[in-house]
Structure 1
Amino acid sequence: MMSQQMTLDSLIPAKQRIVTVAEMQALERAADASGHSYAAMMELAGRAVAEAILERYGRVSCLVLAGPGNNGGDGLVCARHLHEAGATVRVYLWKRATDPERDYEGHFARLQALDVPSAHADTDPSFETLRTWLDCSIVVDALLGTGANRPIQGQLADLLDEVQRARALRQPPFRVVAVDCVSGMNCDTGALDPHSLPADLTVTFACAKAGHYLFPAAQAGGELLVADIGIDPALVQSVRTFALDEATIRAWLPARPANSHKGAFGKVMLVVGSEAYPGAAYLASAAAGRAGAGLVTVASIRAVCSLTAAKLPEPTYTLLTEAMGPNGAVIAADAAHTVHEAVKGYRALVVGCGLSNTPATRQFMANLLDSSLPAAVFDADGLNCLASHDGWWGRLPSRTVLTPHPAEMARLCGLSVEQVLADRWALARQKAAEWGCTVLLKGPYTVIAEPSGWLAVLPVATSALATAGSGDVLAGVIGGLLAQGLEAFTASCVGAWLHGMAGLACAASIGEAGVVASDLLPHLPRLQRRLRHDNESLASSNDLV
């Protein structure tokens, strides 16, 4: 664990870390105390927003909406840098004092000296000036910052609604760039005020905020750019929440040396399937192979093995005794002994996809946990069977991965689904520590937590993955990566990322409606190939679609 912790500390850069509002405020205080002043941070923040606009959109006409706090100050700095770069800029103020005593660092006075036009909402009660100035290419939202958490009301609500109406009437509409966050976004919870102005681009500072990755706010910020404002990266080392990205996944991919053989890439056994759910065995075992495992073995009842072998000739098959459940044959309780003997020499085990939750499979699970097992993934009815046993977490093998969706997590925790959804990040982190395993909690966005407190966020959400069998593919991919020697947490992160990117590729090539789980499979090796051999961003890859 210490080795993994040290690897994560060194591998995950500050800009990938995700902080709460309180953590960000503490970082700013620490930076200020070390000699990097708030004024210097504001100057760098405003300049970063201006540079992002100039890089993406050029020297276009811009309207900066500036509020009363530091966020508004960032907006004024942005306006100055845009003007000095040759862009046409106007500034519209809300609740911002402009007298010399309260003009922080003289930012407004500097704009006046440059003859940058400005207006104040208090002197524009009908928003006539605002409407005129909204004939622009870019609106910069610097009204409310990360600390704002009250409902938007009164004049600000009317102002934002006016901007929304103008945007809807413009063809093409102007683009919106949010400074640090969309005004009206709760940066801790992801709640979003109905008056909020969705952005095309959000430029946030030092670290992303939790709300950037929590819905509904996560879908309102557009592209997220994390800008450096000079905070020492060493100050961020204690932050253990981060977003997964391509560079991190590339660094974690298992090596594929040319002078290797199938044994070099490990063996994974999948205890999966039942007469009612035979397809789960195919999807999970195919995914394990597509993830790169050297040998895949399906352990199941005869009906499942026969159907899977007819479609997938590559795995080996271990027949398990069967019992009758309410919807047909399932794996019998005494089959655990066969698995114990057969799994010796395997690096990984996947249990649960299509297993069915019956008295026989619940007893099978209890028997299975009675002896030593390799690194294991428990998914679907494997989780439901676990949840039926008191103290189940004390019997898990080391390097265990649990992959619940919210309803399965609720059963594991003895909570309601609503309680699970109330704070998914905190719950995943708490239970990973309590259960001593990696917890991959599915949903938009999926999070992966490990026992020492690290939590990774997968910033992928697509309805293409909302299809039966998608979770079986994910479990198989993680099992295949465990077989290749990855640790539980890194295997889960890599597996979730490959699965999510495969979903995006299917959405692009097929459409979000109509994707089926088997469509994901051929994308898994292609994604790995691009990561290993190409420097080109996967997002621009044509051969994925």
Structure 2
Amino acid sequence: MYIVTTQQMQAAEKAADASGLSYDQMMENAGRSIARCIERSFDLEVARVLVLVGPGNNGGDGLVIARYLDQAGLTVAVYVWKRNTDNDLNWGRLDSTGVERIIADTPSAPVALAQWLAESTIIVDALLGTGVSRPIEGGLADLLDQTKATVSMRRGNVNISELTEPARPASEHDNGPVLVAVDVPSGLNSDTGSVDPHTLTADLTVTLAAVKRGHILPPGPDVIGRLVVGDIEITPDCYPSDVTLEMATAAKVTRMLPSRPVNANKGTFGTALIVAGSIDYTGAAILCGQAALRAGTGLVTLAVPKIIHPIAAAAVREATYCPLAHNDGFVAPTSVPAVQKKSSKANALLIGPGLGHNDSTAIFLTDLLALPDSLPPLILDADALNILAQEREWWRQLPPDGVLTPHPGEMARLMGVTTQEVQADRLTIAVEMAAKWQQIVLLKGAYTIVAAPHGRTMVLPFANPALAKAGSGDVLAGTIVSLRAQGLPPFEAAVAGAYLHGLAGECVRKTIGATSASSGDLVACLPEATRQLTHH
């Protein structure tokens, strides 16, 4: 599944048209695909659907959606804004349907619009599509603001049953309409992710053929809701050669996962060595170890300061241990030989989670990285990255093709810029820094990015507040080192680890909810995430 710019998508559509898939047929496919997605996603027993139709191709998609939903037996209206309906094939096709047609700037339109906004259960935003970058103003701004105000008012209404029976099914409450965006919410820049103040935030966005960059670049994820890709039958060969950015899918990740032969032993699945934890962050080492075991490695060795060894050993009983010398609870430089000895038997080495950032840990890391020929493949996370960021040209200390897992703040420190600068252009930064540093860069956040030095880049399809908890990164790092120890190449280990982590987060959100989720719940859901992928 590709991630494209507006220009790349237009080139793909042009190539598809030249190969025999007409623009009219693509519009028909788009409308049908979105209508079917709506039918699958929502309770339609009492559905009333209002489709807001704009002047361009996005509006044409909206007319097709209305026709298919009418055929499905729903009560449907279209509100047409600034659209020339003369010789509009899809407008004419509504003649034989029960779709109510409301044309803006007619005397009856304001009352009809207000009534439909007040009574609709689903509102479809087909006003503006991709490629629109100018500010929203005038009548369109008024229309979007009126819609937002009505939806907000309806969602704010509370009846007595909701106070006394909060657990009643949502279908029995009037929590206002759900908002569905066609391709992009009107006001979202499909290339940059910038959001106009008048943008109508969607609950569901059905994008067509490919994910658009604006869906995954901040603040775009805040306004698209759940993202689904609708098929309009454009084949992969229609995309231009400069389309290299991909969205990770279950099918792709399943093919990456290591095999599990029936005659295996623990050595078959590798040894993961994890240097983590301190007197302040004991839990980081525990979460890493638990995640590594759940992700399938045959043996996990936790190298932790001796003072926290009993705590970690009680929590992760299946691991072996390498208690390290420490200074006031933080790993000491004198422990480098012990780690080096354990490294000789490990297939992958994770350094950093909960390590702490002080003189003791900084000297330890510098001395350890001075022995690159004796170290297994590296994964560096958390405080290992913060320590490196203090050094000029720190990446020259690292052997190539390691995995770096920064969050935006850590990425900013590694680059010597602000977090805001990182977030403003996450894709470009991840790709450029992977090439410069000759490392796999996994830039965390909503729609995590994994970039390789040679340019291959994948984006993870997860944006989940359940993952925004202390320890979540430790679970991710433990999952990645586990897969690396099992023999996956670094890029594949990073992508597959992030996908398992994200899938576990979805499991947590569905069973516990995003608010009450903890990182321990993520570990507990890793087996289910793995099961879903291996049975995909």
Q: From 16, 21, 34, give the equivalent of 1:31.
A: 16
TM-score, scaled relative to structure 2: 0.87
Report the CA distance shift for 1:526/1:172 in structure 2 as closer, same or farther (over 3 A).
closer
Q: From 444, 458, 463, give the equivalent of 1:456.
A: 458
- Contact 1:362–1:388 under 8 Å retained in 2: no
State how far apart, in whole Å, the 1-side matches of 2:40 and 2:383 are: 50
Please name the residue that 1:499 is paired with.
Answer: 501
Q: From 279, 285, 295, give the equivalent of 1:281.
A: 285
Identity rate of aligned residues, in percent?
48
- Contact 1:17–1:208 under 8 Å retained in 2: yes
Deviation at 1:67, TM superposition (A): 0.9
Unpaired segments of 5 or more residues in structure 1?
Answer: 1-15, 536-545
Deviation at 1:455, TM superposition (A): 2.4
**Secondary structure in structure 2 of the residue aligned to 1:492:** helix
CA deviations over 1:429-486 (Å, ceiling 9, x no partner): 1111111111111122322211222322223333333332222222111111111111
**Secondary structure in structure 2 of the residue aligned to 1:220:** helix
Q: From 58, 66, 71, give the equivalent of 2:58.
A: 71
Please name the residue that 1:13 is paired with.
Answer: none
In structure 2, give the amino acid aligned to 1:148. Answer: V
Deviation at 1:232, TM superposition (A): 2.1
Please name the residue that 2:232 is paired with.
Answer: 229
- Contact 2:500–2:529 under 8 Å retained in 1: yes
**Secondary structure in structure 1 of the residue aligned to 2:105:** helix
TM-score, scaled relative to structure 1: 0.86
State how far apart, in whole Å, the 2-side matches of 1:292 and 1:232 are: 36
Please name the residue that 1:127 is paired with.
Answer: 110
Report the CA distance shift for 1:221/1:466 in structure 2 as closer, same or farther (over 3 A).
closer
In structure 1, give the amino acid aligned to 2:500. Answer: L
State how far apart, in whole Å, the 1-side matches of 2:513 and 2:120 are: 34
State how far apart, in whole Å, the 2-side matches of 1:361 and 1:52 are: 52
State how far apart, in whole Å, the 2-side matches of 1:520 and 1:285 are: 13
State how far apart, in whole Å, the 2-side matches of 1:488 and 1:466 are: 25
Matched, 1:361 2:361: yes
Indicate the RMSD between aligned Cα atoms, in angstroms: 2.6
**Secondary structure in structure 1 of the residue aligned to 2:224:** coil
Report the CA distance shift for 1:215/1:129 in structure 2 as closer, same or farther (over 3 A).
same
Please name the residue that 1:483 is paired with.
Answer: 485
Please name the residue that 2:316 is paired with.
Answer: 312
Matched, 1:205 2:188: no
**Secondary structure in structure 2 of the residue aligned to 1:127:** helix
In structure 2, give the amino acid aligned to 1:162. Answer: Q
Matched, 1:107 2:107: no
Matched, 1:262 2:266: yes
- Contact 2:221–2:463 under 8 Å retained in 1: no
Deviation at 1:87, TM superposition (A): 4.5
Please name the residue that 2:159 is paired with.
Answer: none
Matched, 1:437 2:468: no
Deviates more, 1:484-493 or 1:295-304: 295-304
**Secondary structure in structure 2 of the residue aligned to 1:122:** coil
Map 1:378-527 → 2, pairs under 5 A: 378-527=380-529
State how far apart, in whole Å, the 2-side matches of 1:516 and 1:110 are: 52
CA deviations over 1:269-300 (Å, ceiling 9, x no partner): 11222333333222222221222111111223
Deviation at 1:147, TM superposition (A): 1.3
State how far apart, in whole Å, the 2-side matches of 1:470 and 1:40 are: 45
State how far apart, in whole Å, the 2-side matches of 1:361 and 1:381 are: 9
Deviation at 1:172, TM superposition (A): 5.5
Report the CA distance shift for 1:127/1:405 in structure 2 as closer, same or farther (over 3 A).
same
The number of equivalent residue pairs is: 511
Unpaired segments of 5 or more residues in structure 2?
Answer: 156-173
Deviation at 1:520, TM superposition (A): 2.6
CA deviations over 1:221-279 (Å, ceiling 9, x no partner): 34433222232212337533233333333332222222110100001111222333333
Report the CA distance shift for 1:133/1:519 in structure 2 as closer, same or farther (over 3 A).
closer
Deviation at 1:400, TM superposition (A): 0.8
